[in-house]
Amino acid sequence: MFNKLTKSLIGVAAVWTLSALPAAAQNNTWTPLNYIEPGTSIPVRTTQAIDSSTQDGLVYTGTVDEDVRDREGRVALPKGATAELVVRRGANNELVLDLDSVTVNGQRYAVDATRHPVATGGVDIKNSGIGNNEETIKHVGGGALLGTVIGAIVGGGKGAAIGAATGAAVGAGAQILTHGRKVSVPAEALLTYRLQSGLDLGVKDTGYERDGRHYHHYEDRN
């Protein structure tokens, strides 16, 4: 009787443990893809408050909120992957909170303009002859955004939702401003990005540390 009860409890614990894991982890289905296509939607949950009125290259962090799948149904980015966000200048000189990279198990996805063209007004900059780092910095730091925010929710899946057209919402005592003269996004906000440019696997982080914070090389010339 004791042995049967013990086995039963072990079985229940095993089922509960598996159900608590992300789907990609349960099935061991995540295999790194070399490229994540433009048009892919990536939900990112911010892990810190973001408040900025300049493009200074400061990196903010978030996590991928659910498994992201490619067109063939494969897990491209598993839930829990680390996302990096930065403030850039976009159209009409507006500041925009942009998706900069996603890292999974130490493998980093970001834009490499020498491997694939960056979406920037239909101009293919892939073969411009500029070096890898310079080329990428030039275009992602000069108005070519990697992702477009197509929706956002203030806190925990509940609260006010916004669309890309307005870029602002107030709910649950917090305000989201994803673009404009300033960027203001609370911690735990859920932002959904649609990639305008694809993400390449294995792009090195060439950023730097300053006063305990991580920065990327984007300069605000305004």
Task: Give Cβ neighbours of residue 200 (< 8 Å, ≥ 6 apart).
Answer: 34, 35, 109, 110, 111, 112, 115, 116
With vertex at residue 111, the alpha carbon angle to CA 192 and CA 125, rounded to the nearest 5 degrees, is 120
Same-domain pairing of 149 and 196: yes
Boundaries of domain holding 69: 31-215
Same-domain pairing of 65 and 25: no
Same-domain pairing of 63 and 12: no
Same-domain pairing of 17 and 61: no
Same-domain pairing of 54 and 42: yes
Note whether residue 196 is domain-resident.
yes
Q: What is the CATH number of the domain that holds 184?
A: 2.40.128.260
- Report pLDDT digits (tens) over 102-131: 999 999 999 887 776 655 433 233 333 323
Least confident of 96-105, 150-159, 213-222: 150-159
Note whether residue 145 is domain-resident.
yes
Same-domain pairing of 91 and 112: yes
Q: Does the predicted model carry a pTM greater than 0.85?
A: no
Structure tokens at 151: 């929706």
Compute the average pLDDT of residues 182-210.
92
Structure tokens at 183: 């960027």
Q: What is the pLDDT of residue 97?
A: 92
Same-domain pairing of 160 and 109: yes
Q: What's the pLDDT band for 17 if we cut at 50, 70, 90?
A: very low
Note whether residue 220 is domain-resident.
no
Other residues' Cβ atoms within 10 Å of the Cβ of residue 184:
18
Same-domain pairing of 2 and 60: no
Give percent above pLDDT 70 in the chain: 61
Indicate if the pLDDT at residue 138 is higher than 80.
Answer: no
Note whether residue 221 is domain-resident.
no
Note whether residue 222 is domain-resident.
no
Structure tokens at 135: 């080329």
Q: What distance in Å separates the CA atoms of residue 177 and residue 169, rounded to the nearest whole number?
A: 7
Least confident of 80-89, 163-172, 184-193: 163-172
**Three-class secondary structure of residue 99 per DSSP:** strand
Structural domain total, the chain = 2
Same-domain pairing of 3 and 48: no
